[in-house]
A and B are shown apart, each in its own frame.
Chain A
Amino acid sequence: EVQLVESGGGLVQPGGSLRLSCAASGFAFSNYGMSWVRQTPGKGLEWVASISGTDATSYYADSVRGRFTISRDNSKNTLYLQLNSLTAEDAAVYYCAKGDCENDCYLCDYWGQGALVSVSS
């Protein structure tokens, strides 16, 4: 059974940083691209970043490029998202999601339960 468990969410001040983690199990982690997708009541679901399975090439939405960094540790079956220079618009539930292919998978077939990121002074 595919399982994705996010951690690291919390309250951070504007301009601050946070690191999200996603522990994966139940599939050959290194063989699949992985993504982060966020959700807010106002903007709905928004793709944030993706990373390929083997060569770890990363891809970003324009709204986060230069501020967020996606990475993975295939030896630990773990996906990460480093969030820097946070603003109120970054407040959301962040979902870790498994791609349906090896590289930059535009479709995700399994999702974690989400990590809440709040940005406030």
Chain B
Amino acid sequence: DILMTQSPSTLSASVGDRVTITCRASQSVSRQLAWFQQKPGKAPRLLISRASRLQSGVPSRFSGSGSETEFTLTISSLQPDDFATYYCQQYSDYSRAFGQGTKVEVK
């Protein structure tokens, strides 16, 4: 099975900061990579699919890049509503594995 590893596990940042989260796959997933945002007690929300395709309604400050085994999620200017946990997920193979999550917290 493909293993997904995110870094960092926790990120402390302030409103207005540029934030970057990395996701690495143990083998190539092409561009079959999605990013989710989750707030406490809520369902995951799909932000980005196909590594860089922004879902409808997602603010343009979110962007994704990468291919094969290395991917990034960038928030260009962190807003109060963005403090949450972010997960990557590969959907290239049957296991459809998720990363362990990156918590973005207030600095």
Contact = CB atoms under 8 A, between A and B. Distances in A.
Interface of A: 44-47, 59, 61, 95, 100, 106-114
A112 B98 contact: no
A95 B92 CA distance: 21
Across chains A and B, which 10 residue pairs bring their CB atoms closest together, nearest first? A106-B91, A111-B43, A45-B98, A107-B91, A106-B96, A47-B96, A109-B46, A44-B100, A111-B44, A113-B43
A96 to B, nearest CB: 9
B89 to A, nearest CB: 7
Interface string B23-55: 000000000101000000011111001000001
A44 B96 contact: no
B42, B96, B100 interface centre (most CB from chain A within 10 Å): B96
Task: Report the contact-size class of chain B (Cβ under 8 Å from the partner).
Answer: 20 to 34
Interface of B: 32, 34, 42-46, 49, 55, 87, 89, 91-101
A79 B90 CA distance: 24
Contacts of B97: 47
Contacts of B87: 44-45
Nearest to B97: A47
B46 A113 contact: no
A30 B49 CA distance: 23
A108 B96 CA distance: 10
A108 B47 CA distance: 11
B43 A108 contact: no
Given A95-B43, A95-B44, A113-B43, A107 B49 contact: yes
A108 B98 contact: no
Nearest to B34: A107
A100 B95 CA distance: 16
Contact of B98 (A46, A59, A100, A113): A46
Contacts of B100: 44
Contacts of B91: 106-107
B44 A106 contact: no
